[in-house]
């Protein structure tokens, strides 16, 4: 479990307050030391505890840092009080920013393979290493995106396969139902034909017997007439 969120307010318990101060003071000193080393900054840190104890850290000399701080404050106040000095300050800032933009544009053109005539071998090697590092980062990002896209396509393929299986089951069930209906309809049709055939046969038998009796009577009558003529 993670630690609970601490409310930013005064700690009433004296022991807990002292423990928290000790931990956070050490963390603050560590961050100040890292800032000075990593960024080559001139750092000065002064902390007084609730008991009045002094805790300090400096990357060079606390006295020199305080003097620089006072000079910077005085210069800043003078700039604010003197409009001409402030205007010069901003003009210098604008010139610095323009120079930085120009340098970036020149570096960009060199990365594009332009304006290389004035470069030495060492400069060209440095430029080549920059381009190779950029290409490596680009390839890595490209491979990452392709891998993620392939994973997404695989997931979609699995979903489509499952849907295809379900559709096949539905089609098979519908086909089976159709065959059962066809068998049922075929059986009812055969039964109706048999009934009609039997009914028509029973109607024809009496008709044939009546015709046969009539033909026998006619033959008998003709025979009697022949004998009478003789």
CA angle 91, 94, 99 (to 5 degrees): 125
- The pLDDT of residue 185: 84
Q: Does the domain spanning 14-81 belong to CATH 3.40.50.720?
A: no
Question: Which residues share a beta bridge with 150?
Answer: none
Position 5 confidence tier, pLDDT thresholds 50, 70, 90? low
Closest Cα partner for 16 from 220, 7, 203? 7
- The pLDDT of residue 206: 47
- The pLDDT of residue 228: 47
Instruction: Encode pLDDT of 171-192 as tens digits.
Output: 999 889 888 888 888 877 666 6
- Report percent pLDDT > 70 for the chain: 75
| C-alpha to C-alpha distance for 17 and 15, rounded to whole angstroms | 5
Query: Which pair of structure tokens corresponds to residue 136?
Result: 């490596």
DSSP three-state, residue 218: helix
- The pLDDT of residue 221: 57
Looking at the whole model, is its pTM more than 0.85?
no
Within 8 A by CB and 6+ apart from 59, the residues are 32, 33, 36, 41, 42, 43, 44
Position 145 confidence tier, pLDDT thresholds 50, 70, 90? very high
Q: What are phi and psi of 189, to 5 degrees?
A: -65, -45
Position 204 confidence tier, pLDDT thresholds 50, 70, 90? very low
More confidently predicted of 223 and 57: 57
Q: Is the dihedral of CA 59, 63, 64, 66 positive or negative?
A: positive
| C-alpha to C-alpha distance for 28 and 44, rounded to whole angstroms | 12
| C-alpha to C-alpha distance for 47 and 57, rounded to whole angstroms | 9
Question: What's the mean per-residue pLDDT of the chain?
Answer: 80
The terminus-to-terminus CA distance of the chain in angstroms comes to: 138
Q: What is the mean pLDDT of residues 68-84?
A: 73
> Is the pLDDT at 1 greater than 50, yes or no?
no
| C-alpha to C-alpha distance for 77 and 72, rounded to whole angstroms | 9
Instruction: Encode pLDDT of 89-103 as tens digits.
Output: 788 889 999 999 998
């Amino acid at each position: 479990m993670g630690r609970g969120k601490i409310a930013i307010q005064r700690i009433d318990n004296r022991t807990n307050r002292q423990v928290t101060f000790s931990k956070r003071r050490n963390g603050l000193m560590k961050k100040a030391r890292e800032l000075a080393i990593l960024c080559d900054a001139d750092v000065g840190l002064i902390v007084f505890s609730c008991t009045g104890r002094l805790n300090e850290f400096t990357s060079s000399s606390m006295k020199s840092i305080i003097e620089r701080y006072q000079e910077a404050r005085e210069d800043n106040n003078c700039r604010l009080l003197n409009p001409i000095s402030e205007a010069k300050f901003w003009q210098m800032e604008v010139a610095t920013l323009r120079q930085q933009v120009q340098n970036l544009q020149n570096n960009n053109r060199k990365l594009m393979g332009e304006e290389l005539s004035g470069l030495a071998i060492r400069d060209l090697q440095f430029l080549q290493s920059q381009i190779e590092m950029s290409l490596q980062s680009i390839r890595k990002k490209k491979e990452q995106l392709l891998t993620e896209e392939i994973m997404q396509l695989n997931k979609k393929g699995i979903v489509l396969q499952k849907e295809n299986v379900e559709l096949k089951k539905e089609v098979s069930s519908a086909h089976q139902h159709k065959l059962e209906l066809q068998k049922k309809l075929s059986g009812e049709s055969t039964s109706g034909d048999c009934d009609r055939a039997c009914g028509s046969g029973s109607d024809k038998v009496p008709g044939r017997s009546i015709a046969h009796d009539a033909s026998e009577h006619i033959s008998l009558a003709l025979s009697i007439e022949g004998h009478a003529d003789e």
